[in-house]
Amino acid sequence: MFVDGREIKALGLFKKNITPEWEDKANAEGCQLDAHKCLSADALNIHWENLILGLIGETVDENDNICGFRLVNQNKKGKANCKFEIWLRRKDTETANKIKSNVIEALAEGNSRVKASFKIVEEDFQQNLR
């Protein structure tokens, strides 16, 4: 992704006073949900918008388990590849699975505007215990 001639490697949204690093005490005992996907620019925008709205509106995370979210540009050799990272406070599989389901539901809001090959589904997310 390029903006004003500068390459953007990642975009993120984290809760107030939480930095996007594992050394931050809010993240230190946590894990992340990752999804890797090749997306069109339009699909990427729709997914980003729906996930941010879900996080801000607290429909994705009802119990303050999410510390933040990052979208990482992993383009290699001309292929558009993105990595979605959802940073969680704890390494709890049950909580991670609930959040994963909520994220997929939030992303589905824009699915009518996204081609089938660019849709993100639950199987795309994996729990990464770091």
Its pTM stands at 0.84
CA-nearest of 65, 75, 87 to 44 is 75
Q: What is the mean pLDDT of residues 43-72?
A: 87
Residue 76 has pLDDT above 60, yes or no: yes
pLDDT, the chain, mean: 85
* Residue 78 banded pLDDT, cuts 50, 70, 90: low
Q: What is the pLDDT of residues 88-130, one digit of tens each?
A: 999 999 999 999 999 988 887 767 778 887 888 888 888 887 6
Residue 1 has pLDDT above 60, yes or no: no
